[in-house]
Amino acid sequence: QVQLTEAGGGRVRPGDSLTLSCATTANTFMSYTMGWFRQAPGKDREFVAAFNRNNNHIYYADSVKGRATVSRDRDKNTLYLRMNNLKPEDTAVYFCVAGRPILSSLRYDASYSNWGQGTQVIVSS
């Protein structure tokens, strides 16, 4: 059973920064590709970023590239998503995911069988 526990969501103003965290077990942290998706009200789930365990590369959606940074703490088995210059359109529930997608499927939600409970981010003035 893969457990993913997100934290760090909240309400911020446009232009602010926020860091989300996703804690898991050591086995999951080292064995799975982990990443982030988000879902805004009335919209489909959207890929945000992922750390590919096969090549140690980080991939970002165009919508967050340059504003988002994924990092990993091996001692804490935790994945982070730092978002800068937040915009109202970043408002969504953010989900941590873990899976074993092939590279061409990295950005598809169906490629991940393990999802956290989600953490709400609201960007509003």
| pLDDT, average across residues 30-40 | 96
pLDDT at residue 12 greater than cutoff 90: yes
Q: Which helix (H) or strand (E) holds 122?
A: strand 119-123
Nearest CA among 64, 57, 53 for reference residue 94:
64
Average pLDDT, the chain: 96
* CB under 8 A, 24+ apart: contacts of 59-66: 59/35, 59/106, 59/107, 61/107, 63/89, 64/90
The 10 Å Cβ neighbour count of residue 70 is 20
Task: Report pLDDT digits (tens) over 74-124.
Answer: 999 999 999 999 999 999 999 999 999 999 999 999 999 999 999 999 999
With pLDDT > 90 as the criterion, what percentage of the chain qualifies? 98
> What are the tens digits of pLDDT across the range 61-76?
999 999 999 999 999 9
Q: Is the pLDDT of residue 46 over 90?
A: yes
> Which SS3 state, helix, strand or coil, does residue 95 take?
strand
Q: Cα–Cα–Cα angle for 58, 83, 121, nearest 5°?
A: 120
